[in-house]
Amino acid sequence: MTSKPEYVDLLNDIRLQEHRAGVYLEAWANKTDNKDLKECLCFVAAREYSHGDIFDRRVKELGFATVEIEDPEFAEKVRVVSSDISDADKIAWLKESRSRMPTPSVRERYEAATVDESVDELTRSLLRWFTDVENDSVVSMNKVYSDIEKVG
């Protein structure tokens, strides 16, 4: 490719978001005493790290360099999930934090890209697979979150 397609920035954003999610989910897993939550967080964190690597590789396969972009809320997210507040309070904080995310969200952007014919077929296929895996992670996390929220 000679000129940088617009969606390369999306792939970079996914790369950053996934790697950072791996970091804070792993930090939380290392802090919680809840066996089910720890297991789920470790599983999803490993997925997130892997996704970060996959999207890093895809950007490079397309002939472009990845770019580091600071997330001003990342340090706070790690601080909260590593703190001594309850897991239920961490869940509530994370849900509230998500409500402040800019729109369109990275998720809305990558879901749109799965059907955007200006995105190359291999990348659209990757994004469809990624969407399915993310949906599976959300289901797993929501089940564990729900059990914790019931207890309070």
Query: Residue 3, Cβ neighbours under 10 Å: how many?
Result: 5
- Which pLDDT value is given to residue 151? 86
Q: What is the DSSP letter of 62?
A: T
Q: Is 2 contained in some domain? A: no
Q: Distance of CA 86 to CAs 31, 37, 83, 152, Å?
A: 10, 12, 8, 9
Q: Is 1 contained in some domain? A: no
Helix axes 87-98, 74-81, angle to 10 degrees: 160
Q: Distance of CA 61 to CAs 67, 88, 134, Å?
A: 15, 41, 22
Tell me: pLDDT of 1 over 60. no
Number of residues written out for the chain: 152
pTM over 0.85? The answer is yes
Domain extent at residue 40 = 7-151
| Residue pair 39/147 in contact by the 8 Å Cβ criterion | no
Q: For 99-121, what is each residue's pLDDT tens digit?
A: 888 889 999 999 999 999 999 99
Residue 25: pLDDT band with limits 50, 70, 90: very high
- Which pLDDT value is given to residue 2? 67
How many domains is the chain built from?
A: 1
CATH number of the domain at 51, please: 1.20.1260.10
